[in-house]
Amino acid sequence: MVAGVAIRGSRSLLRQIREAMASQQPAQAKLDMVVRIIAASMVAEVCSIYLRRASGDMELFATEGLDAKAVHVTRMKPGEGLVGEIMRLGRPLNLSDAPAHPAFAYRPETGEDPYHAFLGVPLLRGGRAIGVLVVQNRTERAYEDEEVEDLQIIAMVLSELVGAGGLIGAGELKDIEIAPHRPERLKGARFADGLAYGVAVLHEAPVAPDEMFSDDALAEDARLKTAIAALQAQIDGMLDGGQGLVGAPYEVLETYRLFAHDRGWNRGLEEAVRSGLTAEAAVERVRSEHRARLGQARDPYLRERLHDLEDLNDRLLRHLSGDGAVARVLPENAILIARNLGPADLLEYDRTKLRGLLLEEGSPASHAAIVARALDIPCVGRLSGLRDRVNEGDSVVVDGESAEAYLRPRADVVTAIASRMEVRAQRKAEFARLRDTPAFTRDGAKITLLMNAGLAVDLEMLREAGAEGIGLFRTEFQFMVAEQMPRLEAQTELYGRVLDAAGAMPVTFRTLDLGGDKLLPYMEAEREENPALGWRAVRMGLDRPALLRLQIRALLWAAKGRALRIMFPLVSSVDEFRAARALVDQEVSWAQRRGRVAPSRLDVGAMVEAPALLWHLDALLPMTDFVSVGTNDLMQYLFAADRGNPRVADRYDPLSPPALRALKQIQQACADTGTPVSVCGEMAGRPLEAFTLVALGFEALSMPPAGVGPVKQMVLSCDREAARRGVEALLKGAAGSVRGEIETLARKLYVAA
């Protein structure tokens, strides 16, 4: 068999398929002609096409060599037979004796008894296997690598033609599962509350090939090599400190460089071009192969490599189109679709047009999720298979309340969502009316509601949200979105703007919480076995005192005679806080010696996030001016469950006796020593959890801007003493989560939680 001659030489096979596609014959006649052409060109005695129905069954749609009566009769259940095995694996199956394979399923109506040699390849479209192309011969032999390569090229062309409606009219496809087009509902995890309805925009969406075939292989090869060289130069420039990805970790860029220079990747692209495909079509073919092969991998490292390859393919396509930059133009009411995002990625989009965010991966603690909450952008994550289920331009609903996504929703779903969005708008208007109303409980307890921030855009929302100050300003975002370490002047300027925006309202600056999952492209970091328990936050600052002192100096300079509050994150021992506070004292002395204006008042506090401090508060609190409870980290350490790991992040509930007793212990210790205490974790921004915190005695809560209105409404409807008695009773003898019981208590007390 000399299959390579037909494709790599005259490319007569591709030309014949094109002619069959252009004919005016009925769909079945086109398919019949295609299998005859392929069988003749591949010197195969059998050629068959199977397509997947919406039910998942694989149906024989056309054949040359098998009994024609089996067409539209023979069906394979999902995973059944050799065809099902190819669908499951997403890669070719090459057998010298097909009947001997354990997955072989005999179908007497096909008359395939005499055939032993079997080669089947998946029809891949958008990473989804939509069918299988099979050739068979009587002789027991394994097909050569060139033959497998040829059939893969044919399969890719066929899948694109079928999916684009060029081979079979859309009306003739019936329920064939070619590409996502039916309404779908996906269940995920809530990353940011809210509702949105709009148009799907794929993050860094690839440029779709305009042409699949080329009549000048040499010219396409030259285009491809030029684009690859430009891509390699771009990535090399990133690693050498030139223009590049904002906030991308160095090791990821190094991985890109390895892939970009990989001979196997380059060779696969070049061979596809020499076979008659355009450079763009060659990239899409390689992309589909990677998705099919790595998309099913259980190893998280391999799945992460797929993400790297996706980005690499997208960048190469942009170079081929003549635009090496990422297009960020959005339609109105855009819903951004991505596998995952960094905070810088999200910030580069036009927030005036961005209505929602859907992620295939990620976690509520990811920085993209934090930024989404800060910008009040509804976000749902952990939506399995999202990217392969949605097309650019699809209508999409983001339901951040129920943690669901609706793709191509039915009219009744859109109507229901619109109604709920209107109710939310009315509630938002009610919250706006409460903006200047002090947050007192019904029995007269004052609850201070503060706002979490970390972005310049947050400052615009301070008064709009009705917050009484900033209880947590995350200073690391300035470092994460910069291409190099922010200088003293840049840090001072930002902190000064924050204090200017707050006016007389208090601002608590958290020093750099870097390390763990927050890596900087310009700072070397070793891989850690368990980064959440590793070199991060105040530990990094104490080991790099110059870095921490520079930030403290910027904060002191920015105060200019105003009150200043500095807070250290993830303090796990009294010695750590003592050492950190000593650095503050050194900087204060340094500034005084140089005649700098001192802050009118300087308060230094610690975040209580490490459970070890629960049994050392008696020594810590007298050394602090205030403390703040970071419930996000405290809970993950208390329950030994990584909040960024979807397998265990939901294994505990903060509304359970261990968590609530720990919180009560902190509150009581602070009350006994007169130490001001606040809660600045995610719990503070959710009305039911905030109700519980108020019942435990906390009087200062810091939350995302969107949480201030709902929590204030809850406070105004709450009798704190009645809530205290109710929650205290629930904690006696409770075995598991008391969330349901607290919800019932809130209803009985007519609390808006």
**Tokens encoding 559:** 């105060």
CB atoms within 10 A of CB 477: 24
What percent of the chain is helix, strand and coil (3-state, nearest 5)?
45, 15, 35
Q: Which of 367, 379, 670, 718 is catalytic?
A: 367
The reply to whether 680 belongs to the active site is yes
Residues in contact with 123: Cβ distance below 8 Å, sequence separation at least 6, in sequence order:
51, 129, 130, 131, 132, 133, 155, 156, 158, 159, 162
Q: What is the 3-state secondary structure (H, E, C) of 302-339?
A: HHHHHHHHHHHHHHHHHHHCCCCCCCCCCCCCEEEEEC
3-state secondary structure of 23: coil
**Tokens encoding 127:** 């990473």
Q: What is the CA radius of gyration of the chain?
A: 31
Q: What is the 3-state secondary structure (H, E, C) of 659-684?
A: HHHHHHHHHHHHHHHCCCEEECCHHH
Residue 322: left (phi > 0), alpha (psi -120 to 50), or beta?
A: left
Say if CB 454 and CB 514 are below 8 A apart.
no
Within 13 Å of residue 109, how many CA atoms lie on the same side as its CB? 11
Q: How far is CA 104 from CA 93, 95, 124, 382, 414, in A?
A: 12, 11, 22, 36, 46
Q: How far apart are CA 429 and CA 451, in angstroms?
A: 19
Nearest to 55 by CA among 176, 172, 181: 176
**Tokens encoding 128:** 């989804």
First to last CA, the chain: 73
3-state secondary structure of 134: strand
Q: How far apart are CA 388 and CA 426, in angstroms?
A: 36
**Tokens encoding 162:** 């079928």
Please provide residue 553's backbone torsions phi and psi, each rounded to the nearest 5 degrees.
-60, -45
Please, is 146 exposed, middle or buried when counting C-beta atoms within 10 Å of its C-beta (0-12, 13-18, 19+)?
Answer: middle
Q: How far apart are CA 20 and CA 215, in angstroms?
A: 18
Please, is 275 exposed, middle or buried when counting C-beta atoms within 10 Å of its C-beta (0-12, 13-18, 19+)?
Answer: buried
Nearest to 642 by CA among 501, 486, 532, 528: 532
Q: How far apart are CA 125 and CA 398, in angstroms?
A: 25
Say if CB 141 and CB 96 are below 8 A apart.
yes
Residues in contact with 187: Cβ distance below 8 Å, sequence separation at least 6, in sequence order:
383, 403, 404
Q: Which of 47, 379, 680, 718 is catalytic?
A: 680
The reply to whether 47 belongs to the active site is no
Say if CB 396 and CB 337 are below 8 A apart.
yes
3-state secondary structure of 265: helix
Q: How far apart are CA 372 and CA 358, in angstroms?
A: 11
Please, is 386 exposed, middle or buried when counting C-beta atoms within 10 Å of its C-beta (0-12, 13-18, 19+)?
Answer: buried
Q: How far apart are CA 339 and CA 358, in angstroms?
A: 8
Q: How far apart are CA 69 and CA 109, in angstroms?
A: 7
**Tokens encoding 505:** 């309202």
Q: Which residues are catalytic?
A: 367, 680
